[in-house]
Amino acid sequence: MVSSMLSVLVIGYVWPEPNSSAAGSHMLSLLRLFRAQNWQVTFASPAQKTEHMTDLANEGIESQNIALNDSSFDRFITELTPDIVMFDRFMMEEQFGWRVEKNCPDALRILDTEDLQCLRHARHQAVKQNREVELSDLFSDLAKREIAAIFRSDLSLIISSYEMSLLQQQFALPSTLIYHLPFMLDLPSLPVDQPSFEQRKHMVMIGNFRHAPNWDSVLQMQRLWPSIKQQLKAMGEEDVELHIYGAYPPPKATALHNPKTGFQIKGWADSAYDVLKNARLCLSPLRFGAGIKGKLLDAMVCKTPSITSPIGAEGMSPDHEWPGEIAESDEAFIELTASLYCDPDRWHAKQALASPILSHYYDGEKNGNTLVEHILQLRARLSEHRLNNFTGAMLCHHTMKSTQYMSQWIEAKNKLPPQT
């Protein structure tokens, strides 16, 4: 589906790193979708550029550095006059939303949540205190900010079916304001032939070390790995290794590298697919988090069965059997990992479950076309849509004023000469 030329501004929390994180990969798929419509796309961010960021110019996308709490953004967006503005995570909507509304009131405002940070934060708090998540964890100050940003936006992209339900049931979000958009894969370009069970060896973990749930998973695997090794040895597999990949490994991670036990911190991987396709299993013992997990989707693409937790599998294939195992305890994780590694028949049965999930949930062409159609329909009736969102209008009127005045105060303060 190709529509008339529109101008899109994407305001990024960070510059896209598709090989570092699922969020970076998801953002790049959205940028490519917009470019495929022959839309003019500009990506702007106040973040520092990084060594792993994608080459936006090579994608036909303009890039622009912008400043926080600075009226230079007003001049920039007034010149650009975008038809659509997409905020990458709610913090960017908080920072720049009032400026977009003031300078480009007719622009459609989309919030790409990536995942619900208030949900991830609530689960993290509960894990740190070794207890179940409570409603008070979920209804935090962070949630108030994030949910307010969703109400203020014309449309918010929600990556997980679980989070769609949570937003409607716990936070009373109307369905007209949220849109379920899983990862978008280019299915025809995915690798077809994969190494066999016999050709694969070892296990893999992969994930950006800066992401707290991933680092916690590494610590969990350090604790579980000796028991897994012991069970593997009892089954005749003595030289199995766990290879842990991810961007930005800190010294505390590399200090865990232990070739004698097979617990190996590998760091940056040029290609997640190359790493996963040669492994027999993908491990992800997530104790907290939100959204859906790119590492587990990559494992499905590579036909590599995965062992994960209920939170790891959450929202990824709600109506299909998991292509691996879902472990609800340490004991189950240890037993299921060792047994699946050594059982070719069960391994092949689990591997076969991946393809139906990919085609049902993650067809990029189908998902992308449906989103574009929804965006165009929303633009055509934007005034009516906003009229029906009184809560959002109220929050724009009140909360964005406080954000505006704070931002203007910071800008004025920054212009004062330094005191001696």
Average pLDDT over residues 4-15: 94
The residue-averaged pLDDT of 154-174 equals: 97
User: Mean pLDDT of all residues in the chain?
Assistant: 94
Angle ∠(407,412,413) on CA atoms, nearest 5: 95
Q: What is the mean pLDDT of residues 166-192?
A: 95
Residue 234 forms part of a structural domain: yes
Strand partners, 88: 112
Q: Does residue 252 share a domain with residue 226?
A: yes
**Which token pair is 198?**
């016999």
Kind and range of the H or E element at 152?
helix 141-152
- The confidence score (pLDDT) of residue 417 equals 80
Q: What is the mean pLDDT of residues 212-230?
A: 97
Which of these three, 345, 361, 377, is where a domain ends? Answer: 361
Quote the CA–CA distance of 248 and 214 in Å, as a whole number.
Answer: 12
Sign, Cα dihedral of 158, 145, 153, 47: negative
- The CATH number for 309's domain is 3.40.50.2000
pLDDT, position 4:
67
What per-residue confidence (pLDDT) applies to 258? 95
Mean pLDDT along residues 72-77:
97
- Arithmetic mean of pLDDT, 40-54: 94
pLDDT tier for residue 1 given thresholds of 50, 70 and 90 = very low
Residues 123 and 174 in one domain: yes
Q: Could you tell me if 202 and 166 lie in one domain?
A: no
Q: What is the pLDDT of residues 239-292, one digit of tens each?
A: 999 999 999 999 999 999 999 999 999 999 988 999 999 999 999 999 999 999
Q: 158 forms bridges with which residues in the sheet? A: 180
In this structure, is residue 260 part of a structural domain? yes
| Residues in CB range of 232: below 8 A, 6 or more apart | 238, 240, 338, 341, 342
Cα-Cα-Cα-Cα dihedral sign, residues 12, 18, 19, 23: positive
pLDDT at 322 over 70: yes
The total number of structural domains that make up the chain: 2
pLDDT mean over 27-48: 97
Helix (H, G, I), strand (E, B) or coil at 155: strand
> 387 and 249, same structural domain?
no
- Domain extent at residue 33: 7-184+364-415
Do 260 and 349 belong together in one domain? yes
- Do residue 34 and residue 92 come from a single domain? yes
Query: Can you tell me the distance from the alpha carbon of 209 to that of 217, in angstroms, rounded to the nearest whole number?
Result: 10
* pLDDT value of position 51: 87
- Comparing 408 with 95, which gets the higher pLDDT? 95
pLDDT tens for 364-393 read 999 999 999 999 999 999 999 999 999 999
> pLDDT at residue 3 above 60?
no
- Residues 303-322 have a mean pLDDT of 96
347, part of any domain: yes
Q: Do 173 and 24 fall within a single domain?
A: yes
Q: Locate the DSSP E strands across 184-280.
A: 203-206, 242-245, 263-267
Query: Does residue 310 sit in the same domain as residue 378?
Result: no
- Are residue 238 and residue 103 in the same domain, yes or no? no
Task: Assign 3-class secondary structure to 267-321.
Answer: ECCCCHHHHHHCCCEEEECCCCCCCCCHHHHHHHHCCCCEEECHHHHCCCCCCCC
2: pLDDT confidence band, cut at 50, 70 and 90? very low
- Mean pLDDT, rounded, for 199-203: 97
What is the distance between the alpha carbons of residues 369 and 275, in angstroms, rounded to a whole number? 31
- Residue 64 and residue 49 in contact, taking contact as beta carbons nearer than 8 Å: no
Predicted confidence band at 412 (pLDDT cuts at 50, 70, 90)? confident
Widest CA span of the chain, in angstroms?
Answer: 75
Query: What integer pLDDT is reported at residue 52 of this predicted model?
Result: 87
Q: What is the pLDDT of residue 38?
A: 96
191 pLDDT tier (thresholds 50, 70, 90): confident
pLDDT of 393-403, one tens digit each?
A: 999 887 656 66
The pLDDT, as a whole number, for residue 273 is 93
- What residue ranges in 319-419 does DSSP mark as E strands? 324-326
Same domain (yes/no): 277, 340: yes
Spell 47-83 as b/e; 16+ CB within 10 A means b.
eeeeebbbebeeeebebeebeebbeebeebbeebebb
The domain boundary, picked from 317, 339, 361, lies at 361
Residues 158 and 255 in one domain: no
The string of pLDDT tens digits covering residues 325-345 is: 999 999 999 999 999 999 999
Residue the block writes with tokens 């939100």: 290
101 and 160 in a common domain: yes
